[in-house]
Amino acid sequence: MIKEMAQENRTWGAEGIRGELGMRVSKRSIQRYLPKKRLKSSQNWANFLKNHAGEIWACDFTVVHDLLFRPLYIFVIVELKTRRILHYAVTAHPTDAWTSQQLREATPWGKAPRFLIHDRDRKFGALFSALAAASNIKQLVTPFQAPKANAICERFIGSLKRECLDHMFILHQRHLRKVVAEYMGYYNRSRPHQGIQQRIPARLENSFSLSGRSAGKVITRPVLGGLHHTYARASYVN
């Protein structure tokens, strides 16, 4: 019984277990069953993100340049638990009002997270903060020069660049919007993610497994002109 209690209650010490037992047992006898490393309190950022992932969204901007070296900005909102991209948009003029409108579009009919992570960029201004407060969203503003505080969003932006934008000449804003839309569809519906055990964000509970379905011919579809491909059995193609 002591061994089971020690395993089930990793934060308890010998005195806590002895008190719960309600019988006379020596402290040394109980200590023999305690794990060598007790589970200690660890209220750090990584644990917060892990424990509240289902309630947290994160957002950020990245910038690319078109063929005439004009800056274009991509805004994304990602859900931490599923790694799914919930909203994205492209603009040449990212103002506070424009960014607020993106949050408004990402949270229709009261659908909103409990927490929203973003950096201290001026594009998240007074209008954005007022809209977040009105939607009962608590903003988690990351420290200066701390990209790891918004690591999942930063990693997505890295993937967007390495797997898509670094291989493209962007002609203009409309072209960028089309390219980003195609990559987002691939990212959400077909691309396995290491952070969620090689599952797919849009089908997190029932991801496609090629090895688990032996019937039907394998169908491949090119993405972004053949830069990537998706695969599925013919009998399971929607």
> Coil, strand or helix: which one is 227?
coil
pTM: 0.76
DSSP for 178-193, please give it.
HHHHHHHHHHHHT--B
Among the residues of the chain, which ranges form H helices? 2-8, 14-21, 27-31, 45-51, 96-106, 126-134, 151-163, 173-189
Instruction: Dig out the tokens for 130 from the structure.
Output: 């007022």
The C-alpha atoms of residue 210 and residue 200 are separated, in whole angstroms, by 13
Q: Residue 207: its pLDDT value, please?
A: 46
Cα 60 to the chain's mean position, in Å? Answer: 12
Q: Residue 211: its pLDDT value, please?
A: 47
Q: Residue 127: its pLDDT value, please?
A: 97
CB-CB neighbours of 22 under 10 Å = 7
Under 8 Å between Cβ of 63 and 175:
no
pLDDT in tens, the chain (238 residues): 777 776 667 666 776 767 776 677 777 777 777 766 655 556 677 777 778 888 999 999 999 999 999 999 999 999 999 999 999 999 999 999 999 999 999 999 878 999 999 999 999 999 999 999 999 999 999 998 888 899 999 999 999 999 999 999 999 999 999 999 999 999 999 888 887 878 888 776 654 444 445 567 888 999 999 999 988 877 655 5
Residue with tokens 């039907």: 216
Of residues 151, 180, 179, the one with CA closest to residue 75 = 180
The C-alpha atoms of residue 61 and residue 112 are separated, in whole angstroms, by 20
Query: Which residues lie below 8 Å from residue 227, measured CB to CB, with a gap of 6+?
Result: 163, 164, 167
Strands 138-141 and 115-118: parallel
Strand partners, 32: none
Cα 151 to the chain's mean position, in Å? Answer: 9
Domain ranges of the chain: 2-31, 54-201, 208-236
Residue with tokens 């997505």: 156
Q: Which fold has domain 54-201?
A: Nucleotidyltransferase; domain 5 (3.30.420)
Query: Packing angle between helix 151-163 and helix 173-189, nearest 10 degrees?
Result: 110
Residue with tokens 């997190």: 204
